[in-house]
Structures are given as structure tokens and as C-alpha cells.
Amino acid sequence: MTGHTSPEGFVASGWEPVRDAFAQNFAEGRDVGAGVAIYHRGELKVDLRGGWFDAAQSRPYDHNTLQLVFSTTKGVTAIAVGMCVDRGLLSYDEKVSTYWPEFAAAGKGDITVAQLLSHQAGLYSVDGPITVDDALDWGTITARLAAQAPLFTPGSTHGYHALTYGWLAGELVRRVDLQHRSLGTFVAQEITGPLGAEFWVGLPEQHEARVSPMIAAAPPEDPVILKMMMDLMGPGTNAFRALYLEGAFFPQPHQQSPFNTRAVHAAEIPAANGIGTAAALAKIYAATLQPIDGVQLLSGATRERARRTVTPAGEADACLVLPSTFGMGFMTTGFMSPYLGDGCYGHPGAGGSVAFAAPEDEIAFAYVMNQMDNNLANDPRTVNLCAAVRSIIG
């Protein structure tokens, strides 16, 4: 792989096709720096890193590198919610306002936890102007969401709550947790700490220098494709409102993306600013399937409920336009999230990252990267890696 450091790390005997697919992604120029990790039947089979820490190729992308994973964060938040369900603190079928009374304002009193987690609550953005500073202040953003009216009739359709999902689900966890911990603290103390997994929602400052910056995708050269993207996701669309929170998180000319700043890394955005490693994400998902190092995160009953698709089959997403499929906070197997096939649960992130579990195949998979792609779904890098996994397990 000329111009790139070779993939390094662990590959169990028989899993070499994953290493080959990972190397091929670099050889084709699709990756700058990336990591992939896989557990099978509770055992680590793959943990690879490769490429470069940044576009300047200042240093290798190695086992000390941390990566922001955008919406792949949502799956970890969904696991935290599921743990609260397992502990009897929360019910998917109860009204959100039972746990968060202020949420009942402006006609939202009957919205259920299940509707909120499956993007059916109509709260994909906020009403009125908002700044990044407003969004990074937990009390400000959650109070605004609690006070506003839904942007579509709850339960009538679903529309991707790209950023707001995390504050809504995270506030639910904070309200019901016996210690009223923030979502990031809950994750650190109940998930990643016990597992020894390097993943944070709200990154401690001592790890900041380890974070590989996101590299934006070049705009499509084909004007037809560019116009189509603008029609789907440009200013004024539901997608723009959801993905950039009314433009607050939209990268400004000649400035770095807000998601490459310390302020965003330090805050808690449980839908979009998780930072960690592929190995950590794969281990977290493995622990939803069975005990890993003595830690099991979800019961079988909660896992089965959480991975069941509740959005109507084929229904177009009111924000993403294309059909999307959701369970209890997880993006389930569907057009935008093929994973390894039916029955998987997890979440992809903007630009290409993904983490998921495949219970029938006893697989937990994670891929993280710094080079973003323009695709909305079916990133060719993860398609290649998943095809390699399928070739191994049958």
C-alpha cells in the first residue's frame, strides 16, 4: 500500500480475509486512517488499525488513536437506555412525561419512550435560532426541546433526529438513573469502565491529543449528483435542520468543522460526538450478546425488544427521504443499514463509521475512520469488510 502504513494489529487464524479487505480499502484510496474490530462468539478475532492520523500524514493511525464516530454514538446511547429498562427504571411503553414532566408541554404529553427512541416524536430539530454554545449546554438544549411543539404529529411518521435524539434519550437516562448521572457519566461508569473499553461521550481533556481529525469528503464532481444532494440535504430541508441543528453545526467557510474542536469533544452530544476505538465499540456490542470479561450489558428480553424494527416497512424517512429502519434507539437492518443481514442492530455514522451486533451470527463488528465519504448508506468500505466476514462465517 504505497503511501500508507500497513494494517497492524491482531487477526485470528482464519480471519485473514478481513485484513485483506481492510488493506484493499486503503489500496483503492478510500481510507486515510481507520480501524476495524470484530468479536465472534465472545472472542476477539480482529483488531486492526492502519493509515495516517491526519490528511498531512503527520503520524501513523495506530492503537493509541481515538476517533469521533458521529451517529455511531447513538447505538451506545441506546444500550444505556436498554440498561435502564433492564433495571426497571424505564419502560419503552411508558410516556416520556412520566419520567420528565416538563416534556409534556406543547402537546407532547402522550409521546412514548418507544416513539422518542424510534424517531417518531417529531423533535428532529429546535424551533428558532440556536448557536453551538446553546447546544453544548445540556440544560439549555433539553429545556428547549421539552418546551417546544412537535414538528410533525407524533407517531404519524418517522424522521431522523440526527442530533436531538441524544439529548432526548440522554435526559431520560439522567432523569431515571438513581444517581441522576449524565449520559456520558453513565456510559463511563456502567459500560466502558467495567469493560475496559476506550469510548467516551464527553472526552476528558487528557485524551484530546489522541483524537484523529475528521477529513471532510470532497463535493461530488458530477453537477447532477451535487444538485441532488443539495435538494435532499441543503439549507431549508428537514435533513439540514436535523443534521446541522438549524445550521448551528454547519461548517463555516475557512473554519474547521465544529466536530473537530475541543469544545464539541468535551461536551455531551449522545447522538453524535462519541470518541473512541473500533475495538471498544466491538467489545461493547459483544457484551450485549453475552458476558465479556464478566460484563453483560443487556438481557435477552431487552435485546430482542430493542432490535425489533418498529418503523413501518418501506416508509420514507421525513428527514433523510430514503427509507430508514429503527428499533429502540438502534438502526436495525434495512436499506440504509444492511450490516450482515436480517436481525442486526447498531448504528452507522456520518461519513462511514458503523458498529453493530448480529445475534444469529454471534458477531459484534465496528469500523471507524477519519476520511468521510459522501454516501448516505452502504459505504463501500464497510460493505467490503462485511462481505469478508460473511465469507468466513458462512
Q: Which helix (H) or strand (E) holds 45?
A: strand 43-51
Indicate if 71 belongs to the active site. Answer: yes
DSSP 8-state secondary structure symbol assigned to residue 215: B
Asked if 169 contacts 261 with a C-beta cutoff of 8 angstroms, the reply is: no
> How far is 358 from 146, CA to CA, in rounded Å?
35
Residue 309, number of CB atoms within 10 A of its CB: 18
In 3D space, the residue among 359, 380, 56, 44 whose CA is nearest the CA of residue 196 turns out to be: 44
Asked if 249 contacts 55 with a C-beta cutoff of 8 angstroms, the reply is: no
Label residue 32 exposed, middle or buried (CB < 10 Å: 0-12, 13-18, 19+): buried
Label residue 82 exposed, middle or buried (CB < 10 Å: 0-12, 13-18, 19+): buried
The backbone region for 289, taken as left when phi is positive above 0, alpha when psi lies in -120 to 50, beta otherwise, is alpha
Beta 363-369 vs 354-358: how paired, if at all? Answer: antiparallel
Asked if 278 contacts 366 with a C-beta cutoff of 8 angstroms, the reply is: yes
CB-based contacts of 123: which residues, under 8 Å, 6+ apart?
108, 116, 145, 148, 150, 151, 161, 164, 168
Catalytic residue, from 6, 71, 125, 324: name it: 71
CB-based contacts of 236: which residues, under 8 Å, 6+ apart?
none
Identify the bridge partners of residue 346 per DSSP, sorted by sequence position. 331, 356
Tell me the catalytic residues: 71
